[in-house]
Structure 1
Amino acid sequence: MNNSNLIPIYAEIFLLVATSVILLIDMFLSEKQRGITYALSLLALVGCAVFTYADFSSGATTYAFNKMVVSDPMGNLLKLFTYLSVGVTLVYARQYSHDRGMLGGSLGGEFYALALFSTIGQMVMISANSFLSIYLGLELMSLSLYALVALRRDNTAATEASMKYFVLGALASGFLLYGMSMLYGATGTLELTEMARKIAAGTISPTILVFGIVFVVAGLAFKLGAVPFHMWVPDVYQGSPTAVTLLLGGAPKLATFAICVRLLVEGLLPLAFDWQQMLTVLAVLSLVIGNLTAIAQSNLKRMLAYSTIAQMGFVLLGLMAGVVGTDQTNASAAYSAALYYSITYVLTTLGTFGLIMVLSRAGFEAEELADFKGLSKRSGWYALLMTLLMFSLAGVPPLMGFAAKFAVLQSVLKTGNLWLTVFAVMASLVGAFYYLRVVKTMWFDEPTDTAPIKVALDKNIVLGLNGAMVFVLGVVPGPLLTACLHAMTATLAS
């Protein structure tokens, strides 16, 4: 095999070697030296970003390993934001994890190693062009996350969350694998682009294909946390250590979005009429149940879990708006809007859970809504940041969340689904209630916790940059929207 065949996976190879080296080095470090593992983990992500950005700048689409792996603009853009998400999570999680003994002992670096191994799995998912590579990446990511959720072995809530996540995650993987086996049996190929060509030829019975699509969509809905496959999301978000909750709710959503595009758009576009109907039902249910149930939550992590379910409803709306009958002229705009929405969700989620970790301390989890009472009197800066993030999630202009919702609704409206557009707007208005309740609690209630907030400089800087990105990319959404549109157009054309 010549070196040119390895170019699409240089970043994956680099991160695999780097993670193995970091794990080996960490064995010889004491608990006080664990900062070395933290620094090396961030450097490894920076190294990956260099390889991926070089590939992204070329704008080319290349295949490797008999077309099992693809490197294209959409995949490279998602990888860059994946590195950003994981890196920011590690910055936010450092002190939090240390205070809870997650970085102690001779194998304390396993938090960083598992986070990086899950990142490798996400990278494989994003670059997958075959059923085999999709499943390989999915399981590598999932197994790492199962272990991370259970990392606090002495914590009953974390152990219970890990068991729920493992059992339901295995069920989701089984659904997805069964659906892919049906599609393989019908088409005789594991390669997604080849499968699309064979389906488009019209020689395969649609019955078995639709049967396979049902299971594939169900498996993807599990991973996205869409209703009615959402049962694990609130329990796992609440039970996991907040640092792990962010590893679960951030970058993996980008990888799941990638395999949705790979499977449904690149592999099953000729059958778009069938899977778009399924996505519409999932989107409507997610928007209703996610927003209504979030109102009743007093635990902030649980509220944000139901918020995630509702946010995924908007992503599904973008994915179902690409094809109207046989007309694919709206495809690039709709899928790029869904891509932009996924990135927006991840950037905002990083900030919200980062602030929860900032307010937490040894022996105290700041995850109840009451813990944010009077935050403006304790720290106006953090209250302002949280306000920005809540407004963005609610879709208040001129923040990033508004630009994302507007782009998706615009794509849905182009399909002629006026009722669906109005419904999504009304669901967002319902969702605004529980976001604004957090803002009201911070600015108008009297504080019940008066402990001083001590935050490391690196975390303060990253939090500030995180908030600035949500604001600036909302005021000036053009560059990122253009990048998403260009990436999706180039990917669909390849």
Structure 2
Amino acid sequence: MELVLPQIDWTPFAPLIPVAVGGLTTLVVDLFLPPGRKQFIALLSLIALAASILLAINSWGLVRYGVHDAVVLDRFSLFFYLVLGLVGILTILLSMGHLDAAAADQGEYYSLVLFSILGMMLMAAGGDLVVIFLGLETFSLALYILAGFWKTELRSNESALKYLLLGAFASGFFLYGIALVYGATGTTVLRQIVAVLADGHSPEPLFLVGGGLLLVGFGFKIASVPFHMWVPDVYEGAPTSVTAFMIAGTKAAAFAAFLRVFLLAVPALHIRWSAAIWVLAVLTMTVGNLVALVQSNIKRMLAYSSIAHAGYLLVALVAGGSSGVTGILFYLVAYALMNLGAFAVIIAVQGRDQERLLLTDYAGLGWQRPALAACMAVFMFSLAGIPPTAGFMGKLYIFSAALEGHYPGLAVIGVLNSVISVYFYLRVIVIMYMSEAASPPPLVPASAAAVLAVLVSVLGTLHLGLFPARLLDLARQSVSAITG
């Protein structure tokens, strides 16, 4: 009997292959490198991510479906490949100096970062609920390990354990939601689900319950209220570089899948659940900002800030339409740059066994490290939504989409929450420039990689605030690739 091998089109997987190969290569190379040469592994990781970005750019405009429509290559997934590639490069840059300072330059760290990015990319490319779940679990498993990477630190172990237990609980909801959707439609492929619903079949109660469970799973990953309780403890206990990666990459990947499932591929779910998402948006913005007001630890403050920003993104999700999705894509890029930049500054000003995590630790930083303090001020202004920064433009597009979608009340609540957030963001700037440290810590030279990460982030934050048109055009192209 003649053996017939299936024909596989590898084009949809092209940008993912360098990341997968890079993760495996760094894992093997780490076995043969002496302890002092681990920076070579970081360089290999940067090369893998750069190759993925180049392949994504080269694939722009292509539309391909692989493995029976389970993996999708289109401008929407390519946009997120570029965002996640940028997040990965900045994460590795700020990790290089951070791991050296902590005397924990294990090479497997970079492999875990690459595997986590691979899972995030799978979520963005998922045309099947099962593939989205596989992507979610791939990056989650890597992040569970990264959160506990400081094996000798009790708080890092606690962070990993909490993330693992609550993450597994949320994954159960997500998987059960997939099962119910399959039971109602007979398929987990998004294109086929759309076809089933388009045949005149009204969504069954089983389908709606399944959609609700999917909403719970996505809510955990984007850290929306009331699924946010893990965020402050996990972000505080994880290594600072891992916190930066989680705060930017996880949200981008989760919203990529969230948009494809709830808004772009299965609009019936968005219509049915828009009221629930409206409530989630209001609660998430309000709780995140109000609790951030009373934080004295900068990592916890930024953790609650990330919860509030998830609420802003949910505002655009409620609004829907091309404007809403475009606003989300733009804001995710701005959000990644300003948060990674802020954490890069935190890493740049700390030395070996000298973490500066309390807000009071930044007293007088404006005079001790004027350049880094100025960059931190830009990131705080951007997070607060003050022009001419990327954060201002992102919020402008999101709240404009809410008005365009006839949700003026939601837009007003969003603006009021943004005003509240100004207090705790500007407090950091006031402490840096208007307070004196009782005993200034010794100045520790910042690593060149961390400084480069700060520079790229601050230039990107200002560029998108002053010249947003190019990114907006890319975002619109990405949305039109699916919505038509």
Aligned to 2:279: 281
Structure 1 gap segments, 5+ residues each:
323-330
Aligned to 2:241: 243
2:398 corresponds, among 408, 412, 428, to: 408
Whichever residue aligns with residue 57 of structure 2, its letter is Y
2:69 corresponds, among 67, 71, 80, to: 67
Name the CA distance, whole Å, in 1 between partners of 2:436 and 2:125: 50
SS at match of 2:59: helix
**1:318-357: per-residue Cα shift (whole Å, max 9, x none)?**
11101xxxxxxxx111111111111111111110111111
Aligned to 1:355: 345
Aligned to 2:88: 86
Deviation at 1:468, TM superposition (A): 1.1
Deviation at 1:81, TM superposition (A): 1.4
The 8 Å contact of residues 348 and 447 in structure 2, kept in 1 or not, is answered as no
Name the CA distance, whole Å, in 2 between partners of 1:475 and 1:209: 44
2:54 matches 1:50: yes
The 8 Å contact of residues 122 and 137 in structure 1, kept in 2 or not, is answered as yes
Task: Give matches, 1:416-427, under 5 Å.
Answer: 416-427=406-417
**1:179-208: per-residue Cα shift (whole Å, max 9, x none)?**
111111100011011102212323255312
Aligned to 2:291: 293
Name the CA distance, whole Å, in 2 between partners of 1:353 and 1:480: 23
Aligned to 1:327: none
Name the CA distance, whole Å, in 1 between partners of 2:256 and 2:269: 18
Task: Give matches, 1:5-404, under 5 Å.
Answer: 5-56=9-60, 59-103=61-105, 108-322=106-320, 331-404=321-394
The 8 Å contact of residues 187 and 204 in structure 1, kept in 2 or not, is answered as no
Displaced runs of 4 or more, over 6 A = 1-4
The 8 Å contact of residues 23 and 45 in structure 2, kept in 1 or not, is answered as yes
2:454 matches 1:491: no
Aligned to 2:459: 468
**1:303-328: per-residue Cα shift (whole Å, max 9, x none)?**
00000000000111111101xxxxxx
Deviation at 1:369, TM superposition (A): 0.4
SS at match of 2:37: helix
Name the CA distance, whole Å, in 1 between partners of 2:435 and 2:251: 34
Deviation at 1:260, TM superposition (A): 0.3
1:459 corresponds, among 430, 450, 458, to: 450
Deviation at 1:459, TM superposition (A): 2.7
Whichever residue aligns with residue 166 of structure 1, its letter is L
Name the CA distance, whole Å, in 1 between partners of 2:457 and 2:6: 41
Name the CA distance, whole Å, in 2 between partners of 1:235 and 1:462: 25
SS at match of 1:230: coil
SS at match of 1:63: strand
Deviation at 1:365, TM superposition (A): 1.1
Name the CA distance, whole Å, in 2 between partners of 1:96 and 1:456: 8
SS at match of 2:65: strand
**1:440-467: per-residue Cα shift (whole Å, max 9, x none)?**
0011001343311301333323311210
The 8 Å contact of residues 246 and 353 in structure 1, kept in 2 or not, is answered as yes
**1:385-444: per-residue Cα shift (whole Å, max 9, x none)?**
000000000000111000000000000001222211111101100011100100100110
Name the CA distance, whole Å, in 2 between partners of 1:31 and 1:417: 57
Whichever residue aligns with residue 468 of structure 2, its letter is P
Name the CA distance, whole Å, in 1 between partners of 2:276 and 2:174: 15
Whichever residue aligns with residue 425 of structure 2, its letter is Y
Whichever residue aligns with residue 119 of structure 1, its letter is I
SS at match of 1:70: strand
Whichever residue aligns with residue 315 of structure 1, its letter is L
Name the CA distance, whole Å, in 1 between partners of 2:87 and 2:372: 20
SS at match of 1:162: helix
The 8 Å contact of residues 192 and 266 in structure 1, kept in 2 or not, is answered as no
Range moving further from structure 2, 86-95 or 266-275: 266-275
SS at match of 1:250: helix
Q: TM-score, normalized by length of structure 1?
A: 0.95
The 8 Å contact of residues 403 and 474 in structure 1, kept in 2 or not, is answered as yes
Q: TM-score, normalized by length of structure 2?
A: 0.97
Name the CA distance, whole Å, in 2 between partners of 1:154 and 1:404: 40
Count of residues in correspondence between the two structures: 479
SS at match of 2:14: helix
The 8 Å contact of residues 12 and 71 in structure 2, kept in 1 or not, is answered as yes
SS at match of 1:5: coil
**1:460-485: per-residue Cα shift (whole Å, max 9, x none)?**
23311210110111011111111111
Structure 2 gap segments, 5+ residues each:
none
**1:244-292: per-residue Cα shift (whole Å, max 9, x none)?**
1112111221111111012112332023221211211110001110000
Whichever residue aligns with residue 55 of structure 2, its letter is F
Whichever residue aligns with residue 20 of structure 1, its letter is L
SS at match of 1:172: helix
Identity percentage of aligned residues:
33
